[in-house]
Amino acid sequence: MKLVLATHNEGKVRELRELLAGTGYDVVSLAEYPHVPEVIEDGDTFLANAVKKARQVAAAVGEIALADDSGLEVDYLNGAPGVHSARFAGTGHDDAANNQKLLKLLQGVPPEKRTARFRCVVAVATPDGRVETADGKCEGLIIDEPRGENGFGYDPLFWVSEYGKTFAELDGTTKNSISHRGRALQKVQSILTKLVHN
Ligand code: ITT
């Protein structure tokens, strides 16, 4: 059975494919459905945006769709960039500019005040509009210069004390084992079973 990833973010596609490898589903990306219109992410929460993306894509392609809405919450910035993580620095999606803006806003802020977390809400929807969700988070610190080449987005700035490395310095398997996305996906098999057999 097909499972369509309702995302245009290549970094997410890569990680979701790895995390869904054992489910037995034929995981396909939106690249196979060029006619699907872009979903406007106007929700105030990760949950609202994830549900909207999953429902719209499932209806458009006529298959089960899985969406991921995620982002970084920095305590010193009162939870920003949060749902605005993808376009923090402006209108376009530019990871380098986003990281630069974050570093600038945290300039001179001491390490103990640089606490942050990634959050992820995953929504899985059927073409007839049924939806199930799961969430996950991962705590860390924002360091003051980028480190590492792996991953995407804010990974080079996100320090995981447990490993003494940034997400961008961890290999994909290790990141997936502790990340917000990995934790949300731990619940995906039971969600799929529920949606497909009900
Ligand atoms: P789709 O809506 O098409 O899925 P998007 O990138 O716009 O793609 P979001 O609105 O959920 O998705 O924004 C998520 C942003 O949060 C993403 O662009 C990164 O900047 C950041 N982010 C989320 N998960 C991340 C991770 O594992 N590592 C680094 N940055 C992450």
Residues noted as catalytic: 69
Q: Cα(71) to centroid of ligand 1, in Å?
A: 6
The closest residue, in CA terms, to atom 7 on ligand 1 is: 86
**Structure letter (DSSP) for residue 104:** H
Question: In the structure encoding, which two tokens stand for residue 193, read together?
Answer: 């079973």
Residue 166 in contact with ligand 1 by CB distance below 6 A? no
Query: Does ipTM come in above 0.90?
Result: yes
* CATH of segment(s) 2-197: 3.90.950.10
CA-based nearest residue to 85, from 96, 97, 70: 70
Helix (H, G, I), strand (E, B) or coil at 133: strand
Residue-wise pLDDT tens for the chain (198 aa)?
999 999 999 999 999 999 999 899 999 999 999 999 999 999 999 999 999 999 999 999 999 999 999 999 999 999 999 999 999 998 788 999 999 999 999 999 999 999 999 999 999 999 999 999 999 999 999 999 999 999 999 999 999 999 999 999 999 999 999 999 999 999 999 999 999 887
Minimum-distance ligand 1 atom for the alpha carbon of 69: 11
The whole-angstrom separation of Cα 108 and Cα 10 is: 33
